[in-house]
Structure formats: structure tokens, C-alpha cells
Amino acid sequence: MSTDVRLPVVVVAGLDRAARRQAVLELLAAQPRVVVLHHELTHADQHRVHRTQRTTSGPLAEDVDAELVNDCPCCAIRADLLPELRRIAEAGRHTLAVVELWGGSDPHPVVEVIAAAEVGDGRCMDEFVEIAGVVTAADPLRVVPDLSVPDTLCEHALHTGPDDDRTRAEALAHQIEYATVLAVPFAPRHEPDRRQRLAGLAMLHQLNPTARLVALDTGVLARAALGGFDVPAARDRVNPALALLPQQADQAGVATLLWTRRRPLHPARLFEALDQLVPAAHRSRGRFWIANRPDTLLAWDAAGANLAVEECGPWLAALSDADWEHYPPTRCAAAALDWHPQHGDRIQQLVFTAPDLDQQGITDLLDSCLLTDAELRTGQRGWKHLPDAFADLLTPVG
């Protein structure tokens, strides 16, 4: 096969096995010579991964059991999936490869591995394949319930390794927000749970308003899934420093609140408010800064009543002009256009999404965590003496 023609690859994710499998089967039947590759992690606790390949005619090759290298699903993909994709691409007998992920798998690291990995001979994977689309399949009837509970993936045998302690809500939120296509089962005309379905659809749309929402069993999935995928743009879309967060919305009883302020947050008051803020929404995320750490951009990532706060490097306002060249032009341009005379690009931007969201209550609580005028006047020298309440919660990125 000439490497001038790369094999299109569609990655399909989803917690809901039935919806995910329906999406895969539709892609498999959409055109001739499609191959599906799936790594099953049922026995992840035993450090094993089971790989299958199939076409419309049945299994393409014998199933393979391999070791889960370093207890890392991405390592298993690098060791097993990439050589298979290269082999299939070079053989030239297939027009599309569908990579069906395991239930709790995050598509983001998988796509990054496929798109950029070296595969020997001094060559990269992107010489052989191209990511054509990323699909997350979800049942709208289950989206809101799955985002509201603290159940771990391990409790449902959907974890990707022995050390995977993520919740179902965390996994589902990241699957939804990274995809360019959200595939949902087709609804019967007289569906008894229509209100719950509409709430689930509203939740999907508000969490990822730029994704294309398609109904399965209508013949449109393949066209949507093969619409093209921009790996760097997708990376930026989920990067806390660059993400364009969802805007205010209210539909089918589901609302999204975008809280934006400039002045710094008081670390102790914000920490004390977490017990109320985190469970106030099914999903919340964004970027923020606290007064005693004025140079550090912090990421907020909460789902299913679990919160992760991470250090994401410096605010540009903390850097010299010469250091700006090390950061993406899009971030520099956005900072320059929205520059605050006192705080630079430092900003509070947190977005909360849930049914029956108490928008005023969340706004009032967050506003009460900001520095008062008197505290603001003490400046950064005074702020550094505030309690370092987030020291034990912060997790550096990278």
C-alpha cells in the first residue's frame, strides 16, 4: 500500500456497552472492507489484555491475549494495536479501521498515541493512518444518572488497570467532552421516558456544544464519524489553559452556569466552600487562581461529586515577554485581547452543569470566596501570608 493513502481510523468510546457496540456495528456495515479492533480489559486486575479483530465476515485473525504492560492501557495500545494498524494499512485490503475502546477508556490519550507514535524504521504512525473521527456512544437515559453518582469504574468492571480509581462520572465526562460525534440510540415515537431522554440530550449538548449529535440506526453515523479530526485542536479543547468553556444554557431542565470574575479567590474560604460547590453540579470544570499562588493557573475538574485540582503551569502575566514564545499562539492572542490592567490574563472561569441547577446559590457562594476590597489592597505581598489551604489537594500536571 502506498503511504500516500493513509488508512482512516475512527475511535469509538463509551461507558454504555450496548450503545457503543451498536455504533461499532453501524460503522462496520456502513461500507465494504471495514475492520474493527477491540482491546478487552475484563482481566485488567490480572494484568492481561484480550485483543479481537473482526470484519462483516467474522473474525479477521485469531484472538490475542497479551500482558498489560506496566498496568497501562496506552502502553498496551502502543505495543499491540499500533503494529496491527500499521500491518493493516500496509496490506491495503481495508478502507476503514474502527478502534473500539474498553468501557472506561479515555479516548484522548489513545488518539494521541495513534497519531504521534513512532513505529520503527524511523517512521511515525501518522505516515500510515489518519484519525478520521472520535465517537462517544451514550444512552441519554443513563447520562444524567451516570454523572450523578460516585461509583468507581472498578465497581462495574470497567476500569482499565489495577490502579484505575476513576469514577464512572469522571470517565463519562471526559469521553463526552473529547469526542467530535456523540452517538445516541434512536428513540421510539412513544418513548415512556421522554423527559429523561430530553434531559440526557441536553446534558450531552451542554457538556460538548461543538460535537455533532447523531441518532443511531438512521444511517448518518458513518458520514459524521468520517468528517475529519484535528488532533491539536482536540488537545486544546480539553486543555484547561485553552479550553473554550460552554456558555450559559438552560434546556429541558438542565442548566449551565459560567461564572467569570477577575479578582483572586481566598484560598481558605474557597476550600471551605468545596463541600457545597462540588456536589452542586453533575459536572463542573474550568480554570481559576487563588491569592496566595498568584502565578499558578489551576484547573478545576469535578464529576460525580469528585474534584481534582491540578497545577497547569504559569499564567502568562507571571512571565517575561520573551517567555511567551514558548506558549501556543492561540493562548497568547486570547490573553492579549482580554488583558486586565491589574491581573493580566489571570481569571476565574468555572462552568457548572446539572438538572435543576441552583445558579444563584453557586454564584453567591463563589462570590463570597473572592478577596474583599480590604484584602485586595494588601497586594501580592500580603496575599502570600494567607493560609495555603490547597497544598494537600494540588496535583502537578506533566
Q: Report d(CA 360, CA 86) in Å as an integer.
A: 53
Q: Give the residue extent of every domain in the chain.
A: 7-237, 249-396
Specify whether the backbone of 212 is left (phi greater than 0), alpha (psi in -120 to 50) or beta: beta
CATH superfamily for domain 7-237: P-loop containing nucleotide triphosphate hydrolases (3.40.50.300)
pLDDT value, residue 71: 66
In the beta sheet, which residues pair with residue 37?
Answer: 53, 99
Measured in whole angstroms, how far is the alpha carbon of residue 51 from the centre of its chain?
A: 24
- What CATH number was assigned to the domain covering residues 249-396? 3.30.1220.10
Looking at this protein, which amino acid is placed at residue 344?
A: G
Single-letter amino acid, residue 288: F
> Which DSSP symbol is given to 77?
I
Provide CB contacts within 8 A for 62, sequence distance 6+: none
Kindly report the number of other CB atoms within 10 A of residue 186's CB atom.
11
Q: Decide whether 7-237 matches 249-396 in CATH topology.
A: no
What is the reported pTM? 0.93
- Please list the rounded mean pLDDT of every run of 10 residues in the chain (398 residues): 75 97 96 92 77 86 73 73 92 95 94 84 87 97 95 92 91 97 88 90 97 95 95 92 92 97 98 97 98 97 93 96 93 93 96 98 98 96 94 68
Secondary structure letter of residue 160 according to DSSP = S
Q: Say how many CA atoms lie within 13 Å of 376 toward its Cβ.
A: 11
Q: Are 25 and 40 in contact (CB under 8 A)?
A: no
Contact 81, 101 (CB under 8 A): no
For residue 142, give the 3-state DSSP assignment: helix
Q: What ranges in 42-123 are assigned the alpha helix state H?
A: 73-76, 82-91, 107-116
